[in-house]
Structure formats: C-alpha cells, structure tokens
Structure 1
C-alpha cells in the first residue's frame, strides 16, 4: 500500500484503533491493491479468475495424505465433490485478516448492536480446564452454551488484535449492513466460491501435506494438544506458538496476501449448505442454494485437525450458532 508514514502507523495499529490515525474508507479511483476502512480493517483486491472448486481426491488418496484420520471421517466428504471449474467474473476486496476483537468492539460501540449471545441470554461457548467432554451427551470440546461466555470471554485470553469469536452469522450480517450504511459501499460475507478461490490463491492440484502448514497457519498443534490429550494423536506434528487464537497476521500470507485463510478461526460465508450443490452449481459466480437450514463456514481454526485444514473442506452451522472457534472475514465489493 503506497501511503505516507502515518498510514503505516495506522495499519500497524489497526486492531487497537489508535486515535489520530486517518483511515481511507474508499479505495483510490480505479481500485488498488489494498485499502483500509473506518474500523481499521485492511482489504486486499482479489482479481477475477478461474479455479477448480472442491476435492478431486478419493477417500483412499486422502487416507494416504492424512493417515491418522478415522475412516468414517474420510467417508463424510461427499459434499466436496465433484470438483468443478468455477469462474469468478468480478474482482472484489477481501479482508486481509479476520475481524478482530478490537474492531468488533468498535462496531458495537458505534452501532449499538447487541450480539446474539448476549441478546438471547444464552451465551456462547468457552474453554474451561475443569470441563470434561466425556461428561456431556455431545462430547463437545467446549463448555456451553453458558451466559458467561461471549465474544468478550471465550474462556481464554485474547488481545484486541485476536480474531473475535462467539459471533453468529447474524452478527456478521449486522456488521456488514452497518459498514455498508455508514461508508456507502456494499460489505457482505464472501460466497463459498469467492472464499475458496481466495484461499487457493492460484494453487492448482492436490492440497499440500499437513506439514506444509508449518509457519502458515494456527491449527491444532502440539501446544493445543496439551489441553486435549485424548486427541493428541490428531495434532499437527509441529509447534505454531499458540495454544488458542493468535493475533491476526501472525503467520505468513498466501499468494494473494491474505493471512489465516486456514486456521485461527472458522469464517462464516454467505451460502446455505446443500450436500449436492456442487453437482449442479453454476460455472460462473455460484451464489449457493436459494434456501437451507445451515450456513457454511470455512477455513478451520486453532482447534482444527489436519483433514479439515484444507481450502476445499466445508462445514456448517445454523445462523444463530455462536462458538469459540468461529469468526468473521468480510468482502467489500469493488466499485
């Protein structure tokens, strides 16, 4: 980003929303590689282009790549198939990072929005070292719902520059609507196709092996496995320096200049989920199913096992779900 020294200071302090930093809330005429909005969110211009969406690998091929994955998990990936050609016909701006705690806090203070975990009184999910997943019917890794957990408190320490969690799809929509209204440009969640295109960033062929994510992603590694020893055999074979969330941008960016597309927190997309959507998906700018019950989230998190830390993996939850692993990354449409 070609800006004066003051701009550099602003970007470095974006999560802290340092006072006195003037931020540009529209890109320069004709577009630009990067720009920063009024909440300090940095956006990267993603060019139009084509890619192969989904997974072509068979269950046997995935088993060879992820030998510790349980066979039943390898059989549950049919919604990633068939792999198919997709064209993104228009450039768009995508958040360089996931929305931070500081940015979400500023949104709440300026907009008056009340997050669903607080508005409905049921809270969210959180990490509690005294909680035993084996004592619950679902065997969930985290305690909840509980009113003491929310975006403010996921049960572990977070700084202002960490990705916000325990936010619902509806909260993400509220943030996008507010930014659109206050800045006069359309913000929204990315479609699944836009998200996967940005994640792959020109990568062709098979997914890289798990070890290739070292230095690239905050995932379920040896630091995190200390807190969940029953799943230690599923941990990535390295240390990424973070047992829980990491400050956004802690790891190397992909070829588009985007950080944490894999790992750190799952990211809501705009699309409803349907198991068979890829079989009849449009070849250009697929919008996802017209209706559904659950929304797709992508990218994995700091608690994600190797099989799921892939650009092609799909997961989903209801729009009201709030969870200690799920956050937000926004699109700002190009002029």
Structure 2
C-alpha cells in the first residue's frame, strides 16, 4: 500500500488527506453478541448504547485533511507561546484532573479514577510525566476551538474539529468491524494504547477489564507509537479521547442527514471519541459515543484537528 499523502503545518502537525466517500455509521450489535465478546462486563452496560443506533448511511462529500496524530504537548505549547491564549484550566483558576497515586477513587462521590479539579493539574501537569511528543490532555472543547481559530487566521486555511461523522469515517478507514484492527478486543494490542496490564497495575480493582498484554505504557504514549489504520492515522483508538465538533443527541442518528451530518443544532454536551490510555476496550470501539460539557478538562481528553482542502 502506498504511504498516505502527508503535509505539515507551521506547528509541526502532520496531516493526511482523507478521500470523500460513503460508510455505514453506528452500531446495531445485539446485547447477546456484545456479552459474548466482552464476558467480564455486567450485562446492563450493553443496554445503554441506544445512541449508537440505528446504523445509517453517511456520505462525506468532500475530501479533507485530518491530523495524522493527536495534538501534542509540544504543539499546544508552541500555540500558546505564539498566540498568548490562556487555556481554560489556567484562566478560570480551577485547574483540571490528574493522577495521584495516593488518591483513592472510593473517596470520590462519583468513584472517579482521578483527582480534581485542582489548580495543580492542567495541560502542563496531568499527574504523570509527558514529553513534547505525547498527546496534550486536560484541554477543553473551547481550547480546541481556540487552537483551530488561531491556525486558521495565521495560515489562511480553515482548521476545525472534525464532525462526529468525519471522525468515525476516518477511524474506520473502510472497515466495518468494532475497531479498524478487527472485531476482537485483543486486536488493539498493535494499534492502540488502552487499558491493559500496564495501566491495571495502578488500578488493580479494574484488572478484569484490562486487555491481557503489556504495551509498555501505563499512561499516555508518544503519538505514533502504534501502527496506523489503513488511511495512515495513528491512535484513532486509545491514547487520548478526542473532541469533535458536534453536540450530542441520543436520537440524532434516527434523523441524521445522509450528506455531511453536522450533529444537532444545539445541546448541552459535546461528543468525544476514540477512547484513551485508561479506557476499557469496549469503550474504544469505533462506534462508541461519549460526551462532556465543553468546559470539561480531564486527564484523558485531548484533540485532533481537521484542515479543509482549498
């Protein structure tokens, strides 16, 4: 297979051209089939996926360029230095979330795996060591919008977050399996940094949900550490959740337009896709939809940008 057509922008982000085309979006897998594939999960988890259905045809009418990798710490730092933008976690003084080995999830009302919000945590400090090549996390949807707007103004090309449809289309890269690597959760070993035995060593209470392999990363991995999908995109499963542009709607798929769906016109939460280094394999499926308030900054959530073609 020929290498993907790639170009680089002023912050050192690599972009791959994604062709126009059609695909079937979403999932209508029955709970029984999911229970067989993920036997360690409580059955009720398979009954909470109505927003993944119905499976529906989507046509992406124009080719676009997508970040080959998630936005890195170094790229985000260069943006801040050049633009003077202050990220939400620092601007409002409430910080973000982070890993603290002495923190007990049972002490949280929500049972959250991470400590926060606290001022000590932000994109600069998610509670674990990151290099400039790791995906930036603890960034809000608004932070992602600010980066896209600055790049658009600086370079004279339109940058933005992908739509949810563009994201799933690019992730699948022509596949219809649970992951672009196949249906088996174990297929993620070569393509994704998700919750495995390395991460489970820090959260032994959830070891039953960890994949059986060791990928060498207890937290985030440098972008591009794992094999890409068929269109040359890395980390579409795992490493960091990725904000997309759409508002979330439970029933949106039932009346989504075929051509270039943009999501609901309004809503309360924005969609994020793909899973993270701490995500159980079931929630890293190509069709899985998660969401947060656009003000959320979390130690698992980052971003990937689209650059429109002229």
Same fold flag (TM > 0.5) = yes
> Retained in 2: the 8 A contact 1:100–1:248?
yes
Gaps in structure 2 of 5+ consecutive residues: none
Q: Which residue of 1 aligns with 2:174?
A: 202
Counterparts of 1:270-309 in structure 2, within 5 Å, are 270-309=245-284
> Retained in 2: the 8 A contact 1:162–1:245?
yes
Partners of 1:80 and 1:55 in 2: CA distance: 5
Aligned length: 305
Q: Which residue of 2 aligns with 1:96?
A: 68
Give, in angstroms, the shift of residue 146 of structure 1: 0.3
Measured on the aligned residues, the alpha-carbon RMSD in Å equals 1.1
Partners of 1:263 and 1:205 in 2: CA distance: 16
Q: Structure 1 stretches (4+) deviating beyond 2 angstroms?
A: 204-207
Partners of 2:207 and 2:80 in 1: CA distance: 38
CA displacement 1:131-183 (0-9 Å, x = unmatched): 00001111100000000000000000000000000000000000000000000
1:231 has 2:206 as partner: yes
Counterparts of 1:64-83 in structure 2, within 5 Å, are 64-83=36-55
Alpha-carbon distance change, 206 to 170 in structure 1, aligned in 2, over 3 angstroms: closer
Q: Which residue of 1 aligns with 2:96?
A: 124
> Retained in 2: the 8 A contact 1:57–1:206?
no
> Retained in 2: the 8 A contact 1:124–1:323?
yes
CA displacement 1:251-301 (0-9 Å, x = unmatched): 000000000000000000000000000000001100000000000000000
Counterparts of 1:106-255 in structure 2, within 5 Å, are 106-205=78-177, 207=179, 208-255=183-230
1:56 has 2:56 as partner: no
Which has the greater radius of gyration? Answer: 1
Give, in angstroms, the shift of residue 205 of structure 1: 4.7
> Retained in 1: the 8 A contact 2:224–2:235?
yes
> Retained in 1: the 8 A contact 2:100–2:127?
yes
Q: Tell me the SS of whatever aligns to 1:214.
A: helix
Q: TM-score, normalised by structure 2?
A: 0.97
Gaps in structure 1 of 5+ consecutive residues: 3-31
Partners of 2:287 and 2:212 in 1: CA distance: 21
